[in-house]
Amino acid sequence: MKNCEYQQIDPRALSVSPLSVQTHTEKKEHRPRRKWEVFPGKNRFFCDGRIIIARQSGVLPLTLGLIVVTCGLFFAFDCPFLVEHLTIFIPLIGGVLFVFVVTSLLRTSFTDPGILPRATPDEAADIERQIDTSGSSTYRPPPRTKEILINQQVVKLKYCFTCKMFRPPRTSHCSLCDNCVERFDHHCPWVGNCVGKRNYRYFYSFIISLSFLTSFIFGCVITHITLRSQATKGLVQAIQESPASVVELVICFFSIWSILGLSGFHTYLVASNLTTNEDIKGSWSSKRGADDSGNPYSYNSIITNCCVTLCGPMPPSLIDRRGFVPPDEAIPAASASEIELPPFTTKNDANMCTQSTKDVLERMIHSSSEFNGLCPPGTPKTTPLVLEVSSVAAPTAEPSPPAGCSHQHPRRPALCPPFDRSNKSDALHSINPAFRLASPSPSLSRSTLILGDAPDIGFNQLH
Amino acid sequence: MQGLVPTATDGNMATEFHNLQELRHSASLANKVFIQRDYSEGTTCKFQTKFPSELESRIERTLFEDTVKTLNNYYAEAEKIGGQSYLEGCLACATAYLIFLCMETRYEKVLKKIAKYIQEQNEKIYAPRGLLITDPIERGMRVIEISIYEDRGSSGSSSGSSSVSGSTAR
């Protein structure tokens, strides 16, 4: 499915083959498929698309296991002694840190790092057209870089052959996940996900809180053993009485070096608004000598850089995991047969059906780009028209439907039945307004008839 | 005739609907223009205001530039770093990001506004001229996709379609 070699997009091919990468695996199915099911990258999805994780998440259980085991041993074996001899706050602080660490870790692992959806074939063809201005018939791969000016500094944008677009600045393609990720930092195997624009703050809070946790446990265990050896007049005796402490000591000792080092490194990155990727490649180091090749993204103030990176606005997820893939073939086949017209007011009830407004609209948006493909001369011409006009009807009957769980985070997992939708997705996947307008006109009876037609079909079809 | 929704009470709106209806019945997608991102100020979301040549005959330059500039302003508002965004970020961190279960972020609020604005622009300005703007969020915030519809598709097929639709109506 994933073709790593570049293939020139033939504009003629757009008219006969399924257009979107997302739909090429789609068959005629009665069940509407969500976009995560046809996602082209190497990610895995859980909870019906609410949770995203990289394909190889092998080390994440190890990370979690180490943290849970160490903390478990700490609470079970060290805390009783320390509570007795010192203070109750020790397990409390430990508990708070543990919760922080685990939530940050899970957030980092299960959040979309800022994946850029692949270019639609139309977009990719447009890019090709722009660069292949000579019009030669022989195929030539597009130039790989494009230079732009950012804050008076020249930055090269590379062309991504997998995603078929010029990568925005600071974006990099992760080969493990097979996605372009915005503000790509690195792919962290411990966390089992890429670290990018959307989950960098979680990653940072994870390593900071983990450093505190490991240092805290390390200190407490040392205190515990010291106090115990004073009480029992012997170190060996103390260790024999509490062997778990040794295990914790060993784990913490080796973790502290790496975690503290990593925290320090990332604090430096945050303060100078760099990514690991840029730092390793030396993109903004003074390798050009006298040239003023500083980081063009830095705000030249440590505090501002920190605030922007960690407390800046949270961008939305650009891949719509829980949206429905428009069922292109299903609708036209059925639309020609029925002529029943439910009144528009009953469309509110119709929303309870599988196909939501948003899906119809997405279908609309996709179908509008597939008119060329669906219009060989002859009868099929009518079906796109019906399809296009029919999609108008649904949105007007649904002023603000509860459209679908947010596709950004696993927000309300327990409260989201499959057909419940939130308003957010509705806005984010904008209603095609031109089509939205066309439905309620009573003056054109033809259109009214057709409008009533297919959405009902669509609903029935997709049950 | 079933399926009448007499919501169009305003004469202007009826005219627009009429325009759009005519467009839909006889239009076919001719071309798509992609307005690319403008990275001159960094990675913040901003689109180029350069007027594409394909739209020269379809829409006035000033209208187009107004639309793009307004969109750029909206995105700048969404990504603005200042007191409110810091407060939101710190509050979110303090509640272990659980606050996002009940509250939507400022970015999302602005995205909703953008969706409404694009819809309004399409209704008032672009659809009557046979154009359609796709919300950039649908294209990964990479491009503003403007679809250009021809007033008439190939004459045979379009008349065929209208006759079929006409016959089912009768």
Q: Where are the alpha helices (DSSP H) in A282-402?
A: 302-311, 330-335, 347-350, 357-369, 371-374, 382-397
Contact A429 B141 (CB under 8 A): no
ipTM at complex level:
0.73
Mean pLDDT, range A401-419, rounded to an integer? 41
Confidence (pLDDT) at B15: 55
Average pLDDT over residues A146-161: 84
**Mean residue pLDDT across chain B:** 76
Residue A204 pLDDT exceeds 90 = yes
Higher local confidence (pLDDT), A65 or B83: A65
pLDDT tens readout for residues B40-83: 888 888 898 888 888 888 888 898 999 999 999 999 988 888 88
Nearest CA in chain B to A183: B43
B118 and A312 in contact by Cβ < 8 A?
no
Q: How far apart are CA B108 and CA A261, in angstroms?
A: 36
Tell me the average pLDDT of chain A: 69
Which residues on chain B are in Cβ contact (under 8 Å) with A386?
A: 165
For chain B, say whether A447 makes contact (Cβ under 8 Å): yes
In angstroms, the CA B114 to CA B47 distance is: 14
Which chain B residue has the Cα nearest residue A305? Answer: B81
Note if A188 is an active site residue. yes
Tell whether the model's pLDDT for residue A410 goes beyond 80: no
Is residue A291's pLDDT more than 60?
A: no
CB A159 within 8 A of CB A145: yes
In the predicted structure, residue A358 carries a pLDDT above the cut 90: no
- For residue range A27-43, list pLDDT tens digits in order: 444 677 777 777 777 77
Q: Work out the pLDDT band at A209, boundaries 50, 70, 90.
A: very high
- What are the tens digits of pLDDT across the range A50-60? 777 777 776 88
Nearest to A100 by CA among A227, A208, A225: A208
Q: Which residues of B touch A450 (CB under 8 A)?
A: 165, 168-169
Q: Is the pLDDT of residue A447 over 90?
A: no
Catalytic residue among A160, A174, A188, A416: A188
Mean pLDDT of all residues in B82-90: 84
Q: What are the chain B neighbours of A414 within 8 Å (beta carbons)?
A: none
Taking only the tens place, the pLDDT of each residue in A95-120 is: 999 999 999 999 899 888 889 888 88
Q: What's the pLDDT band for A3 if we cut at 50, 70, 90? A: very low
Residue A418 or A256, more confident: A256
Q: What is the C-alpha separation between A322 and A343, in angstroms, rounded?
A: 29
Domain boundaries, chain B: 27-47+60-149
> Given the DSSP bridges, would you call strands A145-150 and A153-160 parallel, antiparallel or unpaired?
antiparallel
Q: Are A385 and A34 in contact (CB under 8 A)?
A: no
Q: Which residues contact A65 (CB under 8 A, 6 or more apart)?
A: none
Q: Cβ separation of A447 and B153 shorter than 8 Å? A: no
Q: Average pLDDT in the B109-115 region?
A: 90
Rounded CA separation B84/A312 (Å): 10
Rounded to two decimals, what is the model's pTM? 0.67
Residue ranges in B34-82 assigned as alpha helix (H): 61-78
3-state DSSP: chain B helix, strand, coil percent, rounded to 5?
Answer: 55, 10, 30
Q: How far is residue B1's CA from residue A225's CA, in Å, rounded to a whole number?
A: 87
Between A9-18, B21-30, B126-135, the lowest mean confidence (pLDDT) is in: A9-18
What token pair was written down for A351? 């929303």
Banded pLDDT at B33 (limits 50, 70, 90): confident
In whole angstroms, give the CA distance from residue B160 to residue B25. 11
| Alpha-carbon distance values, B31 to A88, A352, A449 (Å) | 70, 36, 29
Nearest to B34 among A126, A369, A433 (CB): A126
